[in-house]
């Protein structure tokens, strides 16, 4: 790719320093050896490269500072977990994403204890994807102590099981042009403290152009960085752009945790507070720092779960700010009451450029799915143009939200402007 250097290029720089074929051959041989080593020596969880298969054991080495090698993902997509806990009485595998993939729902899977005090569990084969999980050791929920692929959020930490396919997935880092993710810290008079937001700029960002902006929100307990580390939104966008499947845009990821999630009046307070945060701080921070369109047709708002409800309840009443919407794994069981103003607006189809409602195949079978379906049905009954999509193999988890972004929402965004 233009502007990208390969390891072998160092050979040609060094050639200028000698005229002897012998030394040139030595340099070439050394460079080839280094290239071979960099390809071969990617041990499990070595964190040398942004590997698509970080949990495949290639060297038999234990991850740095870990007590044991776990989890180990085989090429047949079976997974071996190990936990060194000789004094424990019980070890189980749990987590919405992993249990959904196993068809277990709310049934944690027990490990077996060996005579060496090491607990083991083999599962699978699983579909290639990323699965959040926890361990339960003697009744205490913990992250996997041997897995360096850990997620951090506003909830207790968990681990990531990354099951690889035959090559990098649509959410993996590939050898394509990459955009940048910048962290902005600002003071908020709304929440009375310092806050953060992340902004993705596409490869070749040109300040002389005006870009559309997607404001992308997390769910309950999520931090803005989760859309980067769990959602892989920057890598997904890089890959879509390289494939010619999406239009260049900025993606602003604010923190939509504006009141304690367990506050007794969270539902009554969160939407008004977040709308004020958007208007007073988030949008102004982005529009001061970047060359972007400053009208509803140049702004979209989307989010998962609680962020989807923020996008719906705040976004639908803020048509002076937004003209495009992505409601991911969210909705409401009584939309005729909660969004009546939006549903009965006679000009809504003129004001809205694109409205997407989507959820995962497995979550469509439960309560979360019913909320999404109710929203879809209300929009349909009021003849409001929208796209409704159910897809992927995930439940109410990141497997679904990555899928919705890549396969539907981002490719279709800004197409009807």
By the 8 A CB rule, do 106 and 96 touch?
Answer: no
HEC per residue, 379-415: HHHCCCCCEEEEECCCCCCHHHHHHHHHHHHHHHCCC
Helices 266-277 and 306-313: crossing angle in degrees, nearest 10, is 70
The verdict on residue 48 lying in a domain is no
Question: Are 316 and 400 in the same domain?
Answer: yes
The residue ranking higher by pLDDT, 313 or 156, is 313
Closest CA relative to residue 133, chosen from 359, 360, 399: 399
Q: Please, what is the average pLDDT of the chain?
A: 90
One domain, residues 264 and 343: yes
pLDDT (0 to 100) of residue 155: 84
Residue 64, in any domain of the structure: no
Residues 286 and 365 in one domain: yes
Statement to judge: residues 316 and 353 lie in one domain: yes
Cα–Cα dist 86/90, whole Å: 10
The whole domain housing 13 covers 9-40
pLDDT of 43 above 90:
no
Handedness of CA 52, 165, 83, 160 (dihedral sign): positive
221 lies in the same domain as 351: yes
- Phi, psi of 292, deg, nearest 5: -135, 160
* CATH, residue 93: 2.60.40.10
How far apart CA 372 and CA 354 sit, in angstroms, is 17
Question: Edge-to-edge strand order for the sheet containing 299-304?
Answer: 180-188, 193-201, 250-254, 213-217, 299-304, 324-328, 354-360, 387-391
The answer on 198 and 109 residing in a single domain is no
Give me Rg for the CA atoms of the chain.
24
Only one residue has tokens 């810290």, namely 185
Count, in order, helices (H) and strands (E) of the chain: 14, 18
Tell me: pLDDT of 14 over 50: no
- Same domain membership, residue 102 and residue 32: no
Instruction: Please state the domain count of the chain.
Output: 3
Give the residue with greater pLDDT, 172 vs 12. Answer: 172
Has residue 314 got a pLDDT over 60?
yes
Quick check: is 403 in a domain?
Answer: yes
- Those residues whose C-beta lies under 8 Å from the C-beta of residue 147, and which sit 6 or more positions away, are 45, 55, 63, 66, 70, 71, 159, 160, 161
> Residue 346 domain-assigned?
yes
Instruction: Give the Cα separation of 14 and 387 in Å (integer).
Output: 57
- 204 and 336 assigned to the same domain: yes
pLDDT value at 28 more than 80: no
pLDDT tens digits along 278-303: 999 999 999 999 999 999 999 999 99
Tell me, what's the pLDDT at 65? Answer: 87
> CB count, 10 Å around CB of 380?
12
Helix (H, G, I), strand (E, B) or coil at 294: coil
Within a domain: 269: yes
Per mean pLDDT, which of 6-10, 22-26, 53-57, 185-189 is the most reliable? 185-189
Q: What is the per-residue pLDDT for 233?
A: 98
Lowest mean pLDDT among 135-139, 151-155, 228-232: 151-155
Q: Residue 64 pairs with which residues in a beta bridge?
A: none
Residue 85, in any domain of the structure: yes
- The answer to whether residues 310 and 281 belong to one domain is yes
Residues 155 and 190 in one domain: no
For residue range 191-238, list pLDDT tens digits in order. 999 999 999 999 999 999 999 999 999 999 899 999 999 999 999 999
Encode pLDDT of 233-281 as tens digits: 999 999 999 999 999 999 999 999 999 989 999 989 999 999 999 999 9
Nearest to residue 405, comparing CAs of 356, 368, 371? 356
Kindly indicate the confidence band of residue 17, based on its pLDDT and cuts at 50, 70 and 90.
very low
**3-class SS at 23?**
helix
For residues 69 and 148, the answer to whether their CB atoms sit within 8 Å is: no
Q: How far is CA 325 from CA 79, 150, 151, 165, in A?
A: 38, 31, 27, 32
Considering the domain architecture, whether residues 129 and 269 belong to the same structural domain is answered as no
Cβ-proximal residues to 264 (8 Å cutoff; 6+ apart), any chain: none
Q: pLDDT at position 4, please? A: 43
Residue 385 has pLDDT above 50, yes or no: yes
Query: Is residue 67 in a domain?
Result: no
Least confident of 89-93, 147-151, 345-349, 375-379: 147-151
pLDDT above 80 for 159: yes
* CA distances (Å), origin 364, targets 308, 367, 397: 15, 8, 12
Q: What is the pLDDT of residue 254?
A: 98
Q: How confident is the model at residue 44 (pLDDT cuts 50, 70, 90)?
A: confident
Q: Establish if 52 belongs to a structural domain.
A: no
Same domain? 30 vs 91: no
Chain-centroid distance of CA 235 in Å reads 9
User: What CATH number did the domain enclosing 331 receive?
Assistant: 3.40.50.1820
């Amino acid at each position: 790719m233009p502007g990208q250097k390969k390891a072998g290029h160092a050979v040609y720089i060094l050639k200028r320093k000698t005229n002897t074929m012998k030394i040139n051959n030595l340099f070439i041989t050394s460079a080839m050896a280094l290239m071979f080593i960099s390809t071969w020596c990617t041990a499990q969880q070595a964190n040398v490269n942004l590997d698509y298969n970080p949990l495949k054991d290639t060297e038999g080495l234990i991850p740095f500072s870990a007590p044991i090698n776990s989890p180990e993902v085989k090429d047949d997509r079976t997974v071996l977990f190990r936990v060194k806990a000789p004094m424990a009485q019980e070890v189980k595998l749990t987590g919405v994403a992993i249990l959904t993939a196993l068809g277990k729902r709310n049934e944690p899977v027990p490990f077996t204890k060996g005579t060496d005090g090491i607990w083991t569990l083999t599962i699978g084969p699983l579909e290639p994807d990323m699965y959040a999980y926890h361990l339960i050791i003697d009744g205490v929920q913990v992250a996997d102590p041997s897995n360096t692929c850990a997620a951090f959020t506003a909830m207790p930490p968990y681990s990531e099981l990354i099951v690889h396919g035959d090559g990098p997935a649509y959410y993996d880092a590939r050898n394509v042009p990459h955009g940048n993710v910048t962290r902005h810290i600002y003071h908020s008079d709304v929440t009375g403290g310092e806050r953060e937001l992340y902004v993705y700029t596409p490869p070749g960002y040109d300040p002389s152009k005006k870009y559309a902006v997607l404001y992308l929100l997390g769910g309950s307990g999520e931090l803005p960085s989760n859309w980067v580390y769990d959602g892989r939104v920057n890598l997904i966008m890089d890959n879509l752009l390289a494939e010619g499947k999406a239009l260049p845009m900025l993606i602003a990821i604010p923190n939509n945790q504006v009141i304690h999630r367990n506050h007794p009046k969270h539902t009554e307070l969160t939407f008004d507070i977040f709308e004020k945060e958007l208007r007073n701080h988030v949008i102004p921070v982005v529009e001061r720092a970047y060359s972007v369109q400053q009208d509803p047709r140049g702004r979209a708002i989307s989010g998962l779960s609680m962020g989807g409800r923020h996008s719906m309840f705040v976004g639908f009443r803020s048509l002076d700010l937004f003209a495009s919407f992505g409601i991911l794994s969210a909705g409401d069981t009584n939309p005729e009451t909660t969004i009546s103003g939006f549903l009965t607006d006679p000009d809504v189809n003129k004001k809205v450029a694109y409205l997407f409602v989507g959820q995962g195949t497995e979550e469509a079978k439960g309560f979360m799915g019913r909320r999404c379906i109710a929203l879809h049905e209300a929009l349909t009954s009021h003849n409001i143009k929208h796209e409704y999509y159910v897809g992927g193999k995930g439940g109410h988890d990141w497997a679904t939200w990555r899928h919705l972004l890549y396969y539907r929402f981002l490719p279709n965004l800004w197409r009807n402007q």
